[in-house]
Amino acid sequence: MKATTNAPEIRSLDADELTNLQEQFGEMLLACVKDGASIGFIEPFTQQDAVSFWRDRIIPALRTGKRTLYAAFDDQRVVGTVQLDYDTMPNQRHRGDISKLMVHPDCRRRGIAKMLMQKAENRALGLGRSLLTLDTRTGDSAEVLYASLGFETAGVIPVYARDPDSDVLSATTVMYKTLSN
C-alpha cells in the first residue's frame, strides 16, 4: 500500500485503542523487521509474533499508566510509532526512555519519525522529565536521526544484539538528550 503525500496525524493511543489496532501495528512491525530494523526481533518473524508483541507486552504496559504510545496515521493506516517509558525507579524520576521508534518502510523520508519523537519529547517535558535515553544499532540511519534531534552519544556497547536476519552480533549506541522548557 502506497503512502499519501498528506501530513500524517500523530496521536497518543491508550490500551483499548491499541487493542483495536493491534493487527495494523503487527503489520507495520513485521514490515520493519523484514526491512532489517534492529528493534528486538529476529527471523523467522511472523504476523502472529508481531501482534503478540503488542498484545502481550505493550498493551499491559499502557494499562499501568507508566508508558505513552504515539502512533502516526496516514489515511487511517498505522504507519509509525514511538513509546515513552517513564516507569523509572525513585532515583530516576527525572528521566524517560524512548523505545520502538519505527516507521513503515514505504512511508519513510516524510519526517514521521521526527514528528513522533517531538510528541514523545513534549510528553516527557509535561511529566517533568529532564532527560531522555535510548539505544540504537551502531551505524544505523536511526543513529543519525537521533543525533539530528539533539541526542548525544554516551557510549557504544559491542556485540550487544543479534541482527534480525543473521547471526551477526552488532554494537549498540547508547544516547541521551537533556530537555529544557
| Res 1 pLDDT > 80 | no
Per domain, the residue ranges of the chain are 9-129
pLDDT band at 5; cut points 50, 70, 90: low
Which whole number is the average pLDDT over 53-75? 97
Which whole number is the average pLDDT over 66-71? 97
- Which phi and psi angles does 168 have, rounded to 5°? -65, 135
pTM of this prediction exceeds 0.75: yes
Nearest of 120, 100, 115 to residue 38 by alpha carbon:
100
Q: 9-129 domain in CATH 3.30.70.20?
A: no
List alpha helices for the chain, DSSP H: 15-34, 47-53, 59-63, 112-126, 141-148
- Mean pLDDT, the chain, whole residue set: 96
Residue with cell 519526517: 111
pLDDT band at 4; cut points 50, 70, 90: low
- pLDDT tens digits for 89-129? 999 999 999 999 999 999 999 999 999 999 999 999 999 99
